[in-house]
């Protein structure tokens, strides 16, 4: 069963990725929301990947969430 290489591995998720705002290398945090797991950018809070079941899905609009100061 060959998986596309651009998807994060199931056991070891991506630790670093590029921030959609200023394209710098940032860490990713795993957010568990019920039975759904999302990978969000640590810098701007944009959700980059969403997992439903065994499938990782790239999130189309990678817009950052508004952070309260």
pLDDT in tens, 23-67: 777 777 777 777 778 887 777 777 777 887 777 777 766 665 555
Position 9 scores a pLDDT of 47
Closest CA to 39 of 63, 69, 14: 14
CA separation for the pair 29, 17 (Å, rounded): 11
pLDDT at 11 over 60: no
pLDDT at 12 over 50: no
Band of pLDDT at residue 6, cut at 50, 70 and 90: low
């Amino acid at each position: 069963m060959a998986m596309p290489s651009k998807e994060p591995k199931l056991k070891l998720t991506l630790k670093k990725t590029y921030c959609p705002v200023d394209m710098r290398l940032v860490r990713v945090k795993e957010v568990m929301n019920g039975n759904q797991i999302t990978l969000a950018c640590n810098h701007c809070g944009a959700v980059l990947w969403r997992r439903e079941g065994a499938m990782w899905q790239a999130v189309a609009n990678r817009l950052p969430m508004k952070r309260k100061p």
